[in-house]
Amino acid sequence: MTRRLHVTTGFDMTRMLLKIAGAALLVGALSPSLLLAQSGDAAAGQGKAAACAACHGQNGVAPSAEFPSLAGQVPGYIATQLRLFKDKERENAIMAGMVIGLSEQDMADLDAFYSSQPAIAGSITPEQEEQALAGRALYRSGNADYQIPACMSCHAPDGAGIAPKFPRLAGQSPVYIKSSLLAYKDGRRKNNIMSHIAFPLSMEQIEALTVYISGLN
């Protein structure tokens, strides 16, 4: 089965990027659950984070590749995701139970703690360098034929993210990066614009992006 290419012009890509940016802003403007309610206390958040350590590590560095590292995440993003879990706008069996008793202040404190922790650096092996080059091209330039915008437009050239809406990707494990892209592609994660961006990605593109992103610092 062959994929049909939709050839777009530079103007089409620019228009699409503007639509994506506008949609992201509109979601943030219309959804009360995405608003940052209050400032967090990192010291208080450290104590509250003890319940999160089994999956995300004592200081936000996940001990298992299947879970995301939270250390150094952009301020505001973790609190937003916790609210989405609590409001059942984002589904995850483990997190659904973890957020039940969290108050707005708890979420703000956890956000403040994790965002204050030093982020970890990514790395790849020499054998992955060729695949990383393909991922780099997609991450930095996108693919007009498939209407895929450049990842760095939202996540920054170094993967550091743009607070508060666009998360840090640098330092995440390849297992988590790939599983997240697949979840967006097949609709299991559908609470933001990434479901539209990931849908046209091929497995080859997902693999290349996974390698490149996992090596960002």
Domain end residue (candidates: 116, 131, 160): 116
Is 55 annotated among the ligand-binding residues? yes
The model's pLDDT over 58-102, given as tens digits with 9 standing for 90+, comes to 999 999 999 999 999 999 999 999 999 999 999 999 999 999 999
Q: Is 152 annotated as a binding residue?
A: no
* Tens-place pLDDT, residues 128-162: 999 999 999 999 999 999 999 999 999 999 999 99
Residue 166 sits at φ, ψ, to 5 deg, of -110, 115
Q: Is the pLDDT of residue 7 over 90?
A: no
Q: Which domain holds residue 145?
A: 10-28+122-214
Instruction: Assess whether 129 and 24 both reside in one domain.
Output: yes
Same structural domain for residues 85 and 98? yes
Residue 16 annotated as binding?
A: no
Q: Is position 6 annotated in a ligand binding site?
A: no
Please check whether residue 5 lies inside any domain of the structure.
Answer: no
Whether residue 207 lies inside any domain: the answer is yes
Domain boundary residue, one of 116, 131, 158: 116
Query: Would you put residue 120 in left (φ > 0), alpha (ψ -120 to 50) or beta?
Result: beta
In a shared domain, residues 161 and 208: yes
Name the domain count of the chain.
Answer: 2
Whole-number Å distance between alpha carbons of 94 and 212: 28
**Do residue 37 and residue 88 come from a single domain?**
yes
In terms of domains, do 158 and 170 share one?
Answer: yes
Question: Looking at the domain assignment, is residue 2 inside a domain?
Answer: no
